Amino acid sequence: MNATPERRPTEWPHADALLPPVVRELPPGRHEFHKERLMAQIHADTEQSTRSAQEAPGPERPRASWWRRPVLVLPLAAAALAGALVTGSALMGDDETPGLATGPLLTTRVAAATTHGTGTILQRASAAAEQAPAPAPRPGQYIYIESVTANTYVRTRDDKSEVVSDKPHRRQVWESPDGHKGWLIEPGNPKGGITLDTDVDRDAAYDALVTLPKDPDALLRRIYKMSEGQDNGPDQAAFSMIGDLISESYPPAGLEAALYQAAAKIPGVVTVDDAVDAAGRHGIAVARLDEVTGARDEWIFDRKTLTFLGERSVQVKEPKHANAEDRLIKPGTIRFTSAVTKRTLVEGMKELPSQRS
């Protein structure tokens, strides 16, 4: 078989009257997807031995390791479901389900941001993306994305809360072009990985991305419509959605370039002169500050080629309307970081690019 050229790199009801402001929402359709994954993990966790539960040091704030980014405040129904996950997660602990290793707290110097040159950088990134090979998947092929990633979160044990970070680790995702079949291998999940199969249509699936317009103005209008009601304001929601569509996804030919041109039209987009991805690669970042959370989402590009390297979210100031736990995350903390190290097509689920002949 021929080797494929490698790519470079929700429905939960809102209850605004009952909840504090939502700090980071997921794009439409994602909540149901994650609900199914939560339920699958709960089922798997409850099959572990009760002995492990007795040996557990105490309940931690629940996290779902198949989420690439932390969700700081969940909608009411999702919070209840996540609470149910605690019961199952407390049963984890044997060799079949190793937890994510914690490492040193991820921090960085908060670099200054400027609007000067941002449009030029995004135009150069668009030109680089336009030149990158982007073959369409053939029937039966899967999209394979490998990355290095880590999250920072508040861990609570015995009524004591502290901010901790995952040790940056390898993440492997396989997904069918329609987004309905997939597999995830990542530390913290059962040995061998977990299924990502779902009946929910995903905005970032290849077949969905193909339907998006390539004209930057039309594309931006679509992005605003798709992200309506998400995140903290329409501009931040649009920026966040574009970030989701260029990170753990496989944009069809011409779309990645159009997404960068569309992003240049969003108010508040800035440049950060130096940013480091999860693999330790330095680059230049295009970013936007969420004034509510105080976190700045950064897309990191190679300084010379302007190809996409990865993304991170950095706390740059105190959040508004935060609860006591969120106030523990101080400016300079890296809340999330990711580096795309492989993005290509393979012939089947769980096949590695190195297995192609």
Give the tens place of pLDDT for each residue, 191-216: 899 999 999 998 899 999 999 999 99
Residue 98, judged by CB atoms within 10 A of its CB (0-12, 13-18, 19+), counts as middle
In angstroms, the Cα distances linking 277 to 34, 39, 113, 254, 268 are 25, 32, 17, 25, 22
DSSP classification of residue 132: S
CB 179 within 8 A of CB 197: no
What is residue 216's three-state secondary structure? helix
Q: Which of 93, 102, 87, 90 is nearest to 152 (CA)?
A: 102
Residue 102 one-letter amino acid:
T
pLDDT for res 91: 29
CA dihedral 217, 222, 223, 224 (to 10 degrees): 90
pLDDT for res 230: 87
CA dihedral 336, 340, 341, 345 (to 10 degrees): 140
CB 312 within 8 A of CB 298: yes
**pLDDT tens track of the chain, all 357 residues?**
444 444 544 333 333 333 333 333 343 333 433 443 443 343 334 333 333 433 444 433 333 334 455 443 333 333 333 333 333 333 233 333 356 788 899 999 999 999 999 999 999 999 999 999 999 999 999 999 999 999 999 999 888 999 999 999 999 999 999 999 999 999 989 989 999 999 999 889 999 999 999 999 999 999 999 999 888 899 999 999 999 999 999 999 999 999 999 999 999 999 999 999 999 999 999 999 999 999 999 999 999 999 999 999 999 999 887 788 888 999 999 999 999 999 999 999 999 998 665
pLDDT for res 261: 98
DSSP string covering 36-68: HHHHHHHHHHTTS-HHHHHH---------TT-S
First-to-last CA distance in the chain?
Answer: 6
Beta bridge partners of 268: none
Q: CA 122, CA 36: separation in Å to the nearest integer?
A: 36
Output b/e per residue, 267-298; b: 16+ Cβ within 10 A.
Answer: eebbbbeebbbbbebebbbbbbbbebbbbbbb
